[in-house]
Amino acid sequence: MDNNQNRNDRLILIAQDLEVAGLFWHPEVGDEVTDRQLRNPVSILVDPQGLTPDELRSTFLWLPTVEQMIYQCEARQAVLFHAGWEMSTKACGYKTVIQAPVGHIESCAESFRVSLGLALRDLLMSDGTNTYN
């Protein structure tokens, strides 16, 4: 399995976690999605084909972009405090720190998008207010 496929698989798992944690998707043309049943390939929502937002949500899994995840953090009064490469005895990867009303939330992963997704998931799970639209 190639590196891009591994990255996509990891991102899909995080997208599932974000959905379970309460991240709500308002489908828009241009969103990155994957079919809920097939999981591959990752594609861009170009034509909703007459599907309602509820039908789109039940057919596709949304893979939020970095910008969309940052917006979701800000909607919860959290800010991206730090984002960058960490190489230490503790970790090696992209480190993300979100400062939120519940405190600092940190994550580290092989890509910034994955690291931010993990931090957002932890924010959703910790703040108890995961119904922002």
Domain range annotation of the chain: 3-127
- What pLDDT does residue 39 have? 75
- SS3 category, 114: helix
pLDDT < 70: residue spans in the chain: 1-3, 127-133
- What pLDDT does residue 88 have? 87
CA 8, CA 4: separation in Å to the nearest integer? 6
- What pLDDT does residue 109 have? 94
Q: What residues pair up with 69 in beta bridges, in sequence order? A: none
What are the pLDDT digits (tens) for 18-31? 999 999 999 999 99
- What pLDDT does residue 127 have? 58
- What pLDDT does residue 128 have? 54
- What pLDDT does residue 131 have? 42
* 3-127 placed in CATH 3.10.20.30: no
